[in-house]
Amino acid sequence: GESVGLHLPTLSVQEGDNSIINCAYSNSASDYFIWYKQESGKGPQFIIDIRSNMDKRQGQRVTVLLNKTVKHLSLQIAATQPGDSAVYFCAENPYGYSTLTFGKGTMLLVSP
């Protein structure tokens, strides 16, 4: 499949490590945020979302943290597995708009 990860920031971890992927968003009026995972040749796959009235949300092996003061999101993946290798995008939804604005993406490489 074709790579969507050319010239992206890359995070390399060992299997079993915890991974933290960071994202700076641009619009202080954004009130909804989503993290997506994209594997080569596939569409973005929903991982977890968070609304601006929350600071933290947990899913299965994933946690999203939101710091509205500095307009920063992070995605934490616990016990990272080789199947987690992909490009990860954060996306923001400004209040009053219906569209998502995507960040630049981070490639996560997990070594066995």
Closer to other proteins at the Cβ: 12 or 18? Answer: 12
Helix (H) / strand (E) containing 64: strand 62-67
Cβ burial, residue 38 (10 Å; 0-12/13-18/19+): middle
- Determine the Cα–Cα distance for residues 36 and 43; give it in Å rounded to an integer: 9
Could you say whether residue 21 binds other proteins (CB under 8 A)? no
Could you say whether residue 64 binds other proteins (CB under 8 A)? no
Q: Is residue 64 within 8 Å of residue 74, measured between CB atoms?
A: yes
> Which amino acid is present at 64?
V
Q: Which stretch binds other proteins (CB under 8 A): 13-21, 61-69, 77-85, 89-97?
A: 89-97
Binds other proteins (CB under 8 A): choice among 14, 46, 69, 70:
46
Could you say whether residue 53 binds other proteins (CB under 8 A)? no
Token pair for 98:
């219906």
Q: Which residues make up the interface to other proteins (CB under 8 A)? A: 2-8, 31-32, 34, 36, 41-46, 49, 51, 89, 91, 93, 97-105
